[in-house]
Amino acid sequence: MADTCGQVLLGSGLTVLSHPLMYIKVLVQVGHEPLPPTLGRNLFGRQVYQLPGLFAYAKHIIKIDGKSGLFNGLAPRLVAGTIGTVVHSKVLQKSQESNLEVMSSSQKKEEGSLPHVINETTKEMIARSCATIVTHPFHVITLRCMVQFIGREAKYSGVFDSIITVYREEGILGFFAGLIPRLVGDVLSLWICNLLAHLINTYAIDDSMSHTGEIKNCSQAVTGFFASMLTYPFVLVSNLMAVNNCGLAGGLPPYAAVYPTWLDCWSHLSREGNMSRGNSLFFRKLPAGKTYAIEQKRFF
């Protein structure tokens, strides 16, 4: 219990610190570009037209809504983080207890072996999936609170009022908009990360080397970053589906077409070459073949 409380407190602190970053990322994912491109320099020093980065975008939000505006949607995100941590911890604990009952000491898989990695990854997958499903309604509300910035709406003003609004307009299914691509992305990311880390730790790292533990932890972090890059399109599609056709300007044309399913959203983004939109908030290059519309603050 104490460990879970510690995780909740730590997670809440990190959530507060990272919230402005997520807020800006979501607005970019939707396609909102309130500032026109400017002439800057790329990593190689060459002059190119670039889209405003994280800090310029943050200054724009502060100019309109003040510093507190950077924390729109924080309350439901904190609720989601707290509930998700508790659910994840409880499910993982139950999974480990049942695993110990089934396996005798002679059957226990050697730590670091492929069967052990598969077993641990499966338990983590179940725990994460349960936490994701339970907290997804609050994730949907968080995203909609953020996207309101585009149309200056006040439709989602609080956690409880937002729950009532979603249920009244969309029913139970509204709370799970965008859930499938989010789950698929999470599961793929977890398996890619753990299996790649296992391959690197087994075949590329010699146990006789000094600082082996630190090197293996580093490999886990690198494979995690690589997996998140590969599965980013699922995150993008999930977030877009969570706000699609919900009555907010950011979820309706011209910002987004009305997608019947998440596969239609994926297909449209793929055709437009927007599968990585919002993936980077620094050195943002102009979309190829697109024209910036000043009045609508987006690219066509």
Cα-only R_g, the chain: 21
DSSP 129: H
pLDDT at 207: 65
**Residue 171 is assigned to a structural domain of this protein:** yes
Domain membership of residue 115 (yes or no) is no
- Residue 153: its pLDDT value, please? 93
Burial of 225 (0-12, 13-18, 19+ CB in 10 A): exposed
pTM, entire model? 0.91
40 within a domain of the structure (yes/no): yes
Query: Are the C-beta atoms of residues 208 and 215 closer than 8 Å to each other?
Result: no
Q: Which domain holds residue 206?
A: 1-94+122-295
pLDDT, tens only, 232-242: 999 999 999 99
pLDDT band at 26 (very low <50, low <70, confident <90, very high): very high
Q: Could you count the other beta carbons within 10 Å of the beta carbon of residue 33?
A: 23
Phi, psi dihedrals of residue 23, rounded to the nearest 5°: -60, -50
104 is a domain residue: no
Burial class (CB in 10 A: 0-12, 13-18, 19+), 222: middle
Provide the residue type at 131 as one letter. Answer: A
Least confident of 8-12, 15-19, 95-99: 95-99
**Cβ burial, residue 137 (10 Å; 0-12/13-18/19+):** buried
pLDDT at residue 105 in the model: 46
For the segment 179-193, what is each residue's pLDDT rounded down to a tens digit? 999 999 999 999 999
Out of 114-123, 134-143, 218-227, 252-261, give the one with best mean pLDDT: 134-143
Please check whether residue 48 lies inside any domain of the structure.
Answer: yes
CATH number reported for the structural domain that contains residue 199 in this entry: 1.50.40.10
**What is the overall mean pLDDT for the chain?**
88
Q: What is the mean pLDDT of residues 38-48?
A: 75
Q: What's the pLDDT tens digit per position in 68-123?
A: 999 999 999 999 999 999 999 999 998 887 766 555 444 455 766 889 899 999 99
Is 206 within a domain? yes
Give the integer Cα–Cα distance in Å for 143 and 22. Answer: 10
* 109 belongs to a structural domain: no
Domain tally, the chain: 1
pLDDT at res. 106: 41
- Indicate the SS3 state at residue 12: helix
Q: How far apart are CA 184 and CA 236, in angstroms?
A: 12
Measure Cα distances from 227 to 45, 157, 173 in Å. 30, 35, 29
In a domain, 260, yes or no: yes
Beta bridge partners of 41: 47
Q: Is the pLDDT of residue 40 over 80?
A: no
- Check residue 101 and give its pLDDT: 56
Confidence of residue 247 (pLDDT cuts 50, 70, 90): very high
Q: Are 276 and 237 contacting, i.e. CB atoms less than 8 angstroms apart? A: no
